[in-house]
Every structure is written in structure tokens, then in C-alpha cells.
Amino acid sequence: MGVLGSIAASVIRGDDEGIPRLIGQALGQGIPAREVLVEGLQLGMAEVGRRFRECEFFVPEVLIAAEAMKAGMEELRPHLAQQGVQPAATAVVGTVKGDLHDIGKNLVAMMLEGAGFEVVDLGVDVSAEKFAAACRQRPVQLVAMSALLTTTIVQLDSVIRYLKNEVDPVPVIIVGGAAVTQEFADQIGADGYGRDAATGAIVARRLCFGQRSASSSD
Ligand code: B1M
């Protein structure tokens, strides 16, 4: 297995200690930082997403893989910047106002990062105004919102209406969370819905770039 394959395998195993050394090794071999990102880290994360959707992996394995992805990104980020590699798109992520659940939202953020987005994570209890402000601070291609409670899914509707009135251009908006269904997403005018975090990232990629992530199908 080449060094890029080892990087992907390290993400899948969640080897956050070994991954910086492998990234250094790949860069030392003259492999461009973008290739290390796409063929190493992102390929690994796409496989984690596939295993998660097919119930071969559960939340703990995904969280551990995400730590490795994060460690890899920390090592790689300065080289990406130095080589002028820009993220494909920026995603603003958050759990809606009144809702403090963040485990699913964090998984979505990780999967989006693994799918090539630069992620701005606004955290939990995020108001429509805060989502809009984040979209005005920088060019944002995607807003990804999570809602877990039957009492907070209405916030998704409010944020979508607010963004459509207050932000120009309106980013692609996807929603998800335990209390959300495809029917509800359609009803409130969301562009997309993900029943799980990995599917959310696939839907986001398709909507933003017109393509699927490296190794997944839904
Ligand atoms: Co809360 N809680 N909770 N809770 N909690 C639920 C959601 C509940 C179903 C439990 C129950 O009663 N059976 C229930 C909601 C009932 C309802 O509204 N229908 C509930 C309740 C009632 C409450 C409180 C009101 C309890 C109280 O205080 N009386 C309170 C509300 C606080 C608030 O938010 N204001 C509360 C509090 C909490 C804790 C703080 C204790 C804790 C949250 C800790 C944290 O997140 N840091 C908590 C937890 C842990 C849960 C359960 C047990 C687990 C949630 C979770 O993290 N699941 C949950 C019951 C359950 O789901 N079994 C429950 C794992 C996570 C990976 O799944 O977030 O659904 P999930 O994300 C999934 C998908 O939904 C999807 O991807 C993920 C999987 O890949 N997804 C997206 C999520 N966001 C997405 C976005 C996308 C695409 C996919 O695109 C943008």
C-alpha cells in the first residue's frame, strides 16, 4: 500500500497519532498537498461514511476517525495554504435555536469536511440571525442545519425563510436530525435532507458540485 493508502487507512482506523507522520512522509515524497487531502484523508473519510451508512461503523468509530481526520488536517493545512489550495466550498453548520443536541451536528460537520468543505461550525442554539450573519461574513455555498426535537424543527422553517429574505445569494440549505423527515424538509423548502450525516454530505456535494463523494452511493 502506498503512503496515500496508509493515510486513508489511518483515518478509517482512527490513528490520530500516526497520521501526522504519514502526511509528512507523503509531502516529503513530493506528493502535492491537494492529492494528500483528496486521495488520502478524504478517501478515508468517504469510506468511514460508507461504513457508517451501511451500519458497519457506529457513532464511536466515526468520532474516532474524525479525530484522525482532524489531526491530519492540522498537519496538512499550512501546506494547502502554501500551495494555494482553496477549499471547494464553505459550509456553515449549526443546531437550531432552542436545541442543544450536538453529536449528530458534529458528525455532519466532520463528514462535510471529509467531503471537501471548509466548515464554519456555529455550535448549538443558533438563531436565524446568527446563521445569516455567518453567511454575510464570507462567501458561503452551504448551510447545514440540525434539529433533534419536535419543538425545534419549526426553527428550520424560520431560518430558511429568514435566509431567503436576508441573504443574497441564498446558499444551498440542507437539514437533518432525528425529528426531521424528507416530507418536512420538502414542506419547508429545504434544498436537501440527509437521514444520516454521511448521506447529508453526499447530498451536499451533489447539490453544491453536482457530484457524489468518492466512494458512496445512497
Ligand atoms: Co435529548 N432528546 N433532550 N439530550 N436526546 C432526544 C432527541 C429524545 C428523542 C430522547 C427521548 O425522549 N427519547 C427527545 C426528543 C423527543 C422529541 O422531541 N421528539 C429528547 C429530549 C426530550 C430532550 C430534552 C427536552 C430532555 C429534557 O430536558 N426534558 C432536552 C432538550 C435540551 C435542548 O436541546 N434544549 C434534552 C437534552 C439532552 C442532553 C443534553 C442530555 C443530551 C445531548 C448531548 C449532546 O448532544 N451533546 C441528549 C441526548 C444525548 C439525547 C439522545 C439520547 C441521543 C441524541 C444523539 O446524540 N444521538 C436522544 C434520543 C435518541 O436519539 N436516541 C435525545 C446520536 C446522534 C448521532 O444522532 O443527533 O439524531 P442524531 O444525528 C443523526 C441523524 O439525525 C442525522 O445524522 C446523525 C447520524 O448520522 N443528522 C443529520 C443530524 N443532524 C443532521 C443534519 C443533516 C443531515 C443529517 O444535514 C444538515
CB 49 within 8 A of CB 204: no
Instruction: State the Cα–Cα distance between residues 36 and 169, nearest whole angstrom.
Output: 32
CB 69 within 8 A of CB 44: yes
Does residue 217 carry a pLDDT above 50?
no
Q: Closest Cα to atom 81, ligand 1: which residue?
A: 177
* Ligand 1 contact via 191 beta carbon (within 6 Å): no
The residue to mutate among 95, 101, 111, having the most atoms of ligand 1 within 8 angstroms of its beta carbon, is: 101
> What's the whole-model pTM score?
0.91
Mean pLDDT of 180-206: 96
- Tell me, what's the pLDDT at 99? 98
* Residue 88 confidence (pLDDT): 83
The Cβ-side half-sphere exposure at 201, using a 13 Å CA radius, reads: 32
141, 208 contact by CB (below 8 A): yes
Q: Which of 111, 99, 7, 112 is nearest to 59 (CA)?
A: 111
Average pLDDT over residues 2-20: 97
- Mean pLDDT, rounded, of the chain: 93
Residues 73-93 have a mean pLDDT of 91
Residue 145 has pLDDT above 60, yes or no: yes
Pick the residue with more confidence: 173 or 179?
A: 173
pLDDT of 80 > 50? The answer is yes
Please state the rounded mean pLDDT for residues 170-182: 96
List C-alpha distances in Å: 58 to 24, 83, 104, 160: 30, 36, 12, 30
Ligand 1 binding pocket includes 101 (Cβ within 6 Å): yes
Beta bridge partners of 121: 93
Minimum CA distance residue for ligand 1 atom 42: 101
Question: How far does residue 148's CA lie from ligand 1's centre (Å)?
Answer: 5
Confidence of residue 218 (pLDDT cuts 50, 70, 90): very low
The confidence band for 26, taking pLDDT boundaries of 50, 70 and 90, is very high
Which pLDDT value is given to residue 211? 58
